[in-house]
Amino acid sequence: MYQDSVVFNLLEKELYRQRHGIELIASENFTSLEVMKAMGSVATNKYAEGYPGKRYYGGCEVVDEIETLAIERLKKVFGATWANVQPHSGAQANTAVFLACLKPGDAILGLDLSMGGHLTHGSPANYSGKTYRAFFYGVDRETGLVNYEQLEQVARAEKPKMIICGASAYSRDWDYKRIRAVADEIGALVLADIAHPAGLIAAGHLNDPFDHCHIVTSTTHKTLRGPRGGIIALRHDFENPFGIKDPKGNLRTMSQLLDLAVFPGMQGGPLEHVIAAKAVAFGEILTEDFKNYGKQIILNAQAMAKAFVDKGYHLISNGTDNHLMLIDLRNKNITGKKAQETLDRAHITLNKNAVPFDDKSPFVTSGIRVGVPAITTRGLKEKDMSAIVELIDKVLMNSDDEKTVAGVKEEVVRLMSQFPLYPELG
Ligand code: DSN
């Protein structure tokens, strides 16, 4: 039998990297072994275009059960009445929402990418910005908080059909109620993209977007700690207010339009092995352990934010409500790019990130984004956060001193060996 030692040796190397580093990328996490087992399962062999009970292939009776289970568990996680678990990613989930709700050329309003927003919320480089007329709101220069006045002003002036809330580099909670109020005033829909804080929302530690937003999308692999993928959910179904019809010219409810937008609108065969892994992850999210995990994420993030502030680092908005923080390094005389690259050499992984009103290019940036979901999964607690900040500070303050960087790397490996990752894998 053909044995691919090349790929499996590389996967061993990746396991070593994950085990021996401090993972601070805010959008990453470590799934359970069960989630990974479901992903690496026979379900990858199955074609199942369509939805449970209505497929274009035979032999779908088992994957129908798997997908139905994933949908039912997800509905329970968020108190939703409808969900679609087929989007291959968060970007696909957002694209499906646009397809279901809007016509090309319609106006949308989202948080500017350079202020912490996401590519799929109207960036000119993305499908969303190429297909729709995108307008943006930002954050306040002084407070670093979402500038709701600006959001309302642009909404009233441009009358977008959709207002998008959600971000990939914003450390504070959202005022969904306020956004819904202006949306109702101008007849817009509100989409909450909760890809980043979804796990904290599921655990009940942040405001609930389902109370006020028409449609919610998310990825499943960040704070939700599932496999790489996307989802869409509704708490209340409704008629599309903009007269969008199905391909046969019939008016449908939003849930029906969203199902049609995912398949056949935008995707082909669903990844049933990933859907099986989503079902496992949603089962985990429904446990008390996950609530505690969410609480620990917030405690860790706040402890880490305080440790950075105590060392003179400038955090955008001066702190965090969620799992991440955005740090402006300009007072530390190091760029985001150099910080990321030097920390990488010390086995501390994070990403460079533009800060609001940044004067550097997105390839260089003035900041870094730091997140704690992955190290919280590893079992690190508040007391470990200040130790990590000490190590980061040592690297950043000695970024040209390879001996110091190598010394920190040894400390990192020592620290993380106390928090075993996937010991079952040998
Ligand atoms: N790449 C994701 C993140 O890191 O936030 C957003 O898509």
Mutating to test ligand 1, I would choose from 164, 168, 171, 223 the residue with most ligand atoms within 8 A of its C-beta, which is 168
- Measured CA to CA, the distance from residue 394 to residue 405 in angstroms comes to 8
CA of 245 to the centre of ligand 1 (A): 32
Domains defined along the chain, listed by start = 34-285 (3.40.640.10), 296-419 (3.90.1150.10)
Active site residue 228: yes
Structure confidence at residue 199 (pLDDT)? 98
Write the DSSP symbol of residue 317.
G
Structure confidence at residue 159 (pLDDT)? 98
CA of 334 to the centre of ligand 1 (A): 23
**Active-site residue identified among 31, 131, 217, 219:** 219
Q: What is the mean pLDDT, run by run of 10 residues, along the chain of 426 residues?
A: 93 98 98 98 98 98 98 98 98 98 97 97 98 98 98 98 98 98 98 98 98 98 98 96 85 94 97 99 98 98 98 98 98 98 98 98 97 98 98 98 98 98 95
- Residues 16-32 pLDDT 10s: 999 999 999 999 999 99
CB 366 within 8 A of CB 329: yes
**Which residue has the least CA distance to atom 2 on ligand 1?**
27
- Measured CA to CA, the distance from residue 262 to residue 75 in angstroms comes to 18
Atom of ligand 1 nearest to the CA of 25: 4
Structure confidence at residue 243 (pLDDT)? 83
CB 64 within 8 A of CB 310: no
Structure confidence at residue 34 (pLDDT)? 98
pTM higher than the cut 0.95: yes
**Active-site residue identified among 193, 259, 272, 284:** 193
User: CA–CA distance from 301 to each of 172, 185, 271, 273 (Å)?
Assistant: 12, 36, 33, 32
3-state DSSP call for residue 57? coil
- Residues 283-306 pLDDT 10s: 999 999 999 999 999 999 999 999
- Measured CA to CA, the distance from residue 11 to residue 164 in angstroms comes to 38
**Active-site residue identified among 76, 159, 228, 330:** 228
Active site residue 219: yes
Burial letters 111-145, b for 16+ CB under 10 A, else e: bbbbbbbbbbbbbeebebbebbebbbbbbeeeebb
CA of 14 to the centre of ligand 1 (A): 20
CA of 168 to the centre of ligand 1 (A): 6
Residues with CB under 6 A from ligand 1: 27, 118, 168
Tokens at 244, concatenated: 């969008």
**Which residue has the least CA distance to atom 4 on ligand 1?**
27
CB 138 within 8 A of CB 115: yes
